[in-house]
Amino acid sequence: DTAVSQTPKYLVTQMGNDKSIKCEQNLGHDTMYWYKQDSKKFLKIMFSYNNKELIINETVPNRFSPKSPDKAHLNLHINSLELGDSAVYFCASSPDRLYNEQFFGPGTRLTVL
């Protein structure tokens, strides 16, 4: 009965590779997010989708491409991975109402060697 799930939990890969992280929510929420948490625990939003449409796109390299096949899924694809991409990536979702909490997934720890 996991609310927001992410796969994989850990991802170790070489520089230059392409990788994807998947996210699914079973809460019926309309909005989904991707966050990046760096080594200093600073959490920064990357993207937000509402009903499969991109609504927030922060200053993120275009090597990062989110894809939302349906309202319950928001995947993150990263091309040509760089050392600086190493971080924990969190997916989250929220209902489409004002002042609502966001529900976070467990995170994916990406290590680029």
Nearer to other proteins, 64 or 90 (CB): 90
Asked if the peptide bond before residue 61 counts as cis, ω within 30 degrees of 0, the response is: no
Nearer to other proteins, 4 or 81 (CB): 4
Question: Burial of 77 by CB count in 10 Å (0-12 exposed, 13-18 middle, 19+ buried)?
Answer: middle
- Which listed residue (11, 78, 94, 112) binds other proteins by CB under 8 A? 94
- Which listed residue (45, 60, 67, 73) binds other proteins by CB under 8 A? 45
| 41 interacts with other proteins by CB under 8 A | yes
The minimum distance between CB 82 and other proteins, in angstroms, equals 23
SS3 track for 6-47: EECCEEEECCCCCEEEEEEECCCCCEEEEEEECCCCCEEEEE
The minimum distance between CB 46 and other proteins, in angstroms, equals 11
Structure-block tokens of residue 97: 């109402």
Nearer to other proteins, 31 or 75 (CB): 31
